């Protein structure tokens, strides 16, 4: 007896799409077969719909602790569920920043209480907490910031940076602050990573020049991501959005957008991650100098990419590789990212034909806005399943008392 059966869906596998049934038991994918008798009371007819692995967003800022007026694990995870995201990895630039085991345990407690999807964490590096980094368990990697925005959680000392790469026990994720800073930081860390044969992941790649530099060093240990706002918006967006288009690194030229799509086609960009960074509307309405950088993204990333599938810009197998398989592989997330017997039953059912308009008033994120407000997109997440439990269906959160869990990192 199965707990749940997804029948007749167009299931997306690494090698293509097949119409099969997916049978779920005890939170796992128990069986995948062409047709199964309805040995359960809970059957979802997926005829005509696609079934994807749950999206893994490896770059989010859920603002807990210290900034929960903008977002928290409850509201952020509900936004994830609405966008087909079943796992997120949270960044360390909270207040206080996440720099040691105690900080991580506090976050784990908050997320365990409130998140309806699965979660994981990064630890930050400030040049002084190397011993703390060596002691932490079950994290995705070490996040390094460059630049004045992150004074309490950045590394400016070259010796400390080299020490971290020499240790090299887990992925090192790089954030650079400006266009010039991004390029110079990417060059610096790629050379250091090569010197120590370390794993390095470049966050929110936004320019063609970064792509060119990454291509020189590209390997299994050198990976990178871009974000939807760099693919779908350019610097002309400021005319309509003003500060609501202010991100870090900033939006680039149309030519850079084309370079990013080309890098996706060529396999240089490994994943799409949102850099979900919500701020209140009143913060964004301040002067340009005072307005914070960042946009929300977990709720809109999959619909945006599905629309690109419908327009023929990317195929759905490549989408799953970018948003599910590669994040799980790069960060070593156990039993996630593919629809495979024995893996966790994290699934999203999507209608590729339905069109929907993004509207601020319908969003689950606490900040209540999106730079893609009033965009009409074709391709809609209909049902999101986390660990075998339906948490979102037809526009509504239905998780009840269910909570997601912390993922396991195989490092």
Catalytically annotated residue among 132, 275, 344, 351: 275
Is 404 a domain residue?
Answer: no
Q: What is the reported pLDDT for 147?
A: 66
∠ CA(349), CA(375), CA(254), 5° rounding? Answer: 110
Is 200 a domain residue?
Answer: yes
Write the CB contacts of 130 (distance below 8 Å, at least 6 apart in sequence).
Answer: 160, 163, 164, 167
Do 131 and 35 lie in a common domain? no
Q: What is the reported pLDDT for 186?
A: 77
Q: What is the reported pLDDT for 187?
A: 83
CB atoms within 10 A of CB 357: 11
Averaged pLDDT, 88-117: 98
On the question of pLDDT at 292 being above 70, the answer is: yes
Q: What is the reported pLDDT for 182?
A: 59
On the question of pLDDT at 28 being above 70, the answer is: yes
Do 80 and 173 lie in a common domain? yes
Mean pLDDT, the chain, whole residue set = 95
Residue from 83, 61, 117, 47 nearest 336 by CA: 117
Q: Which of 181-195, 250-264, 350-364 has the lowest mean pLDDT?
A: 181-195
On the question of pLDDT at 155 being above 60, the answer is: yes
Do 238 and 309 lie in a common domain? yes
Q: What is the reported pLDDT for 181?
A: 57
Residue from 152, 143, 68 nearest 111 by CA: 68
Averaged pLDDT, 319-329: 99
Do 9 and 144 lie in a common domain? no
Is 364 a domain residue?
Answer: no
Q: What is the reported pLDDT for 106?
A: 98
Q: What is the reported pLDDT for 157?
A: 80
On the question of pLDDT at 148 being above 80, the answer is: no
User: What span, in angstroms and rounded, lies between the C-alpha atoms of 246 and 242?
Assistant: 7
Do 66 and 44 lie in a common domain? no
The DSSP symbol for 64 reads T
Averaged pLDDT, 319-337: 99
Write the CB contacts of 385 (distance below 8 Å, at least 6 apart in sequence).
Answer: 4, 24, 54, 86, 345, 346, 347, 348, 349, 391
Is 365 a domain residue?
Answer: no
Q: What is the reported pLDDT for 224?
A: 97
Do 161 and 310 lie in a common domain? yes
What range defines the domain where residue 262 resides? 54-331
Do 256 and 352 lie in a common domain? no
| Domains contained in the chain, number | 2
Is 407 a domain residue?
Answer: no
Do 304 and 166 lie in a common domain? yes
Percent of the chain with pLDDT over 70: 97
CB atoms within 10 A of CB 197: 11
Q: Which of 17-31, 127-141, 183-197 has the lowest mean pLDDT?
A: 183-197
User: What number of residues does the chain have?
Assistant: 411
Do 133 and 246 lie in a common domain? yes
Is 405 a domain residue?
Answer: no
Convert the pLDDT of each residue in 49-97 to its tens digit: 999 999 999 999 999 999 999 999 999 999 999 999 999 999 999 999 9
In this prediction, residue 158 has a pLDDT band, given cuts at 50, 70 and 90, of: confident
Answer for the pair 7, 21: CB distance below 8 angstroms, yes or no: yes
On the question of pLDDT at 317 being above 90, the answer is: yes
Annotation says 102 is catalytic: no
Is 337 a domain residue?
Answer: no
Do 26 and 15 lie in a common domain? yes
Do 47 and 114 lie in a common domain? no
On the question of pLDDT at 234 being above 60, the answer is: yes
Do 69 and 101 lie in a common domain? yes
Q: What is the reported pLDDT for 40?
A: 81
Q: What is the reported pLDDT for 149?
A: 66
On the question of pLDDT at 156 being above 80, the answer is: no
Which CATH number do you get for residue 43? 2.30.40.10
Convert the pLDDT of each residue in 245-275 to its tens digit: 999 999 999 999 999 999 999 999 999 999 9
């Amino acid at each position: 007896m199965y707990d749940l059966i997804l029948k007749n869906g167009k299931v997306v596998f690494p090698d293509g799409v097949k119409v099969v049934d997916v049978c779920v038991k005890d939170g796992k994918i128990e069986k995948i077969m062409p047709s199964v008798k309805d040995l359960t009371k809970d059957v979802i007819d997926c005829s005509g719909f696609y079934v994807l692995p749950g999206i893994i967003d490896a770059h989010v800022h859920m603002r807990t602790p210290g900034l929960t007026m903008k977002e928290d694990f409850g509201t952020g995870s509900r936004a994830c569920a609405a966008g087909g995201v079943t796992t997120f990895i949270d960044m360390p630039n909270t207040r206080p920043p996440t720099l040691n085991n105690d900080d991580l345990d506090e976050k784990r407690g908050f997320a365990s209480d409130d998140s309806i999807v699965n979660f994981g964490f990064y630890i930050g590096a400030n040049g002084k907490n190397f011993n703390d980094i060596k002691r932490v368990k079950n994290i995705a990697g070490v996040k390094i910031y460059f630049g004045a925005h992150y004074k309490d959680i950045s590394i400016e000392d070259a010796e400390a940076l080299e020490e971290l790469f020499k240790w090299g026990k887990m992925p090192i994720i790089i954030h650079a602050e400006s266009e010039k800073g991004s390029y110079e930081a990417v060059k610096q860390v790629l050379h250091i990573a090569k010197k120590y044969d370390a794993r390095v992941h470049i966050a929110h790649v936004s320019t063609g020049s970064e792509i060119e530099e990454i291509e020189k060093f590209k390997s299994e240990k050198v990976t990178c991501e871009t974000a939807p706002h760099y693919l779908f918006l350019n610097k002309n967006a400021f005319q309509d959005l003003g500060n609501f288009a202010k991100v870090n690194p900033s939006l680039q030229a149309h030519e850079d957008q084309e370079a990013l799509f080309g890098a996706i086609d060529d396999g240089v960009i490994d994943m799409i991650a949102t850099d979900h960074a919500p701020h209140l509307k009143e913060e964004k309405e301040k002067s340009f100098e005072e307005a914070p950088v960042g946009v929300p993204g977990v709720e809109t990333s999959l619909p945006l990419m599905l629309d690109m599938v419908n327009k023929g810009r990317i195929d759905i197998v490549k989408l799953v590789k970018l948003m599910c398989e590669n994040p799980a592989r790069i960060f070593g997330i156990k039993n996630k990212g593919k629809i495979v017997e024995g893996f966790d039953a994290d699934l999203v059912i999507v209608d590729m034909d339905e069109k929907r308009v993004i509207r601020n008033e319908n969003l689950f994120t606490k900040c209540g806005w999106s730079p893609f407000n009033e965009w009409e997109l074709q391709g809609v997440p209909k049902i999101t399943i986390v660990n075998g439990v339906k948490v979102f269906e037809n526009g509504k959160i239905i998780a009840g008392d269910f909570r997601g869990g912390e993922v396991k990192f195989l490092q």
